[in-house]
Amino acid sequence: MQVPTRWGAVAALLIAGVVVALQIGKAAIAVPVLQRELSLSLVVASWVLGAYGALGAAAGLPSGIVASLFSAKRTLIAGLVAAGLGSLAGALATNGGFLIATRVVEGCGFLAAVLALPRLLRTVTAPRDRETVLAVFGAYMPIGSVIMMVAGPHLVAYGWQTLWIVNGVVVLVYAALVAFLPLHEEAPPANPGRAVLPNIKQVLGAPGPILLALAFGIYTFQYAAMAGLLPTLLVDRMGLSISTAGAITAATVAANAVGNMFAGALVRFGAPLWGITAFGFSFVGLASFGVFSEGLPVAVIAVMASASLAVTGVIPASIFAAAPRFAASSALLAIVLGLVNQATNLGNLTGPAVMAFIVQHFGWVRAPMLFVGVTIAGLTISLLLRQAMKHAKTRP
Q: What is the C-alpha R_g of the chain? A: 20
Going by C-beta distance under 8 Å and a sequence separation of 6 or more, which residues neighbour residue 55?
Answer: 104, 107, 108, 111, 345
- How much is the pLDDT for 395? 42
Looking at the domain assignment, is residue 187 inside a domain?
Answer: no
Residues 137 and 242 occupy one common structural domain? no
Residues 1 and 91 occupy one common structural domain? yes
Residue where a domain terminates, one of 182, 213, 242: 182
Residues 346 and 214 occupy one common structural domain? yes
Residue where a domain terminates, one of 149, 164, 182: 182
Looking at the domain assignment, is residue 79 inside a domain?
Answer: yes
Looking at the domain assignment, is residue 61 inside a domain?
Answer: yes
- How much is the pLDDT for 187? 59
Q: Which domain holds residue 51?
A: 1-182
Residues 17 and 84 occupy one common structural domain? yes
The domain spanning residue 291 has which CATH number?
1.20.1250.20
Percent of the chain's residues with pLDDT above 90: 43
Percent of the chain's residues with pLDDT above 70: 95
Is the per-residue pLDDT at 393 higher than 60?
no
Residues 178 and 199 occupy one common structural domain? no
Residue among 44, 138, 57, 115 at smallest CA distance from 348:
57
Domain count, the chain: 2
Taking a C-beta distance cutoff of 8 angstroms, is the pair 112, 56 a contact? no
Going by C-beta distance under 8 Å and a sequence separation of 6 or more, which residues neighbour residue 157?
Answer: none
Looking at the domain assignment, is residue 219 inside a domain?
Answer: yes
- Entry pTM: 0.87
Looking at the domain assignment, is residue 221 inside a domain?
Answer: yes
Residues 172 and 200 occupy one common structural domain? no
185: three-class secondary structure by DSSP: coil
Residues 173 and 246 occupy one common structural domain? no
Cα dihedral angle (251, 84, 108, 63), rounded to 10 degrees? -100
The whole-angstrom separation of Cα 349 and Cα 60 is 13
Residue where a domain terminates, one of 148, 182, 216: 182
Residues 159 and 213 occupy one common structural domain? no
Give per-residue burial for 162-194: e unless 16+ CB within 10 Å, then b: ebbbbbbebbbebbeebeebebeeeebeeeeee
Residues 1 and 49 occupy one common structural domain? yes
- How much is the pLDDT for 192? 64
Is the per-residue pLDDT at 179 higher than 90?
yes
